Amino acid sequence: MTASITPLVDWSGLTVLNATLSVLLFAMGLFCLLSQRNVIKQVFGLKIMLQGVTLGMIEAGRLHGDLGFAQTMVVSALIVETILIAVALALIINIFRHHPSGDIDRLNRLRG
């Protein structure tokens, strides 16, 4: 006769919650990125999308039992995200110098 060991915490509800939150963050960021015409709002949408991807990577690492690899991937993603945001902010400064409204549709008039 074998005794079954019951876990102290039921992780299935947490898994569904984390996966749902990850997809929801990514979808909200994508919607913001595609629907907004202001450059700053689009960068915020990109940042929200990247946070959803980061949460998804952590959850995938937890599900596969390899949190060390997931943490390494998240740190790498955070470094890339920081560089991306720095470049985006430099571009935003240049955009606001030439077009103070920050409207993306007016940027098609730029020549270079």
CATH no. for residue 78? 1.10.287.3510
Whether residue 5 lies inside any domain: the answer is no
Whether residue 45 lies inside any domain: the answer is yes
Give the model's confidence band at 15: pLDDT under 50 very low, under 70 low, under 90 confident, else very high: confident
Point out which residues pair with 38 in neighbouring strands.
103
Whether residue 4 lies inside any domain: the answer is no
Give the model's confidence band at 13: pLDDT under 50 very low, under 70 low, under 90 confident, else very high: confident
Chain-centroid distance, C-alpha 78: 10
Task: With CA atoms as reference, report the closest residue to 43 among 78, 92, 76.
Answer: 92
Whether residue 3 lies inside any domain: the answer is no
Q: Which amino acid is at 9?
A: V
Q: Contact, 28 vs 48, CB < 8 A?
A: yes
Give 81's Cβ-side CA count (13 Å radius): 18
pTM of the model: 0.75
Give 42's Cβ-side CA count (13 Å radius): 16
Whether residue 6 lies inside any domain: the answer is no
Whether residue 112 lies inside any domain: the answer is no
Point out which residues pair with 103 in neighbouring strands.
38
Number of domains observed in the structure of the chain: 1
Whether residue 37 lies inside any domain: the answer is yes
Whole-number pLDDT of residue 8: 46
Whether residue 90 lies inside any domain: the answer is yes
Determine the structural domain holding residue 100 and report its residue range.
Answer: 12-107
**Burial bucket for residue 39 (CB in 10 Å: 0-12, 13-18, 19+):** buried
Give the model's confidence band at 34: pLDDT under 50 very low, under 70 low, under 90 confident, else very high: very high
The mean pLDDT value of the chain amounts to 83
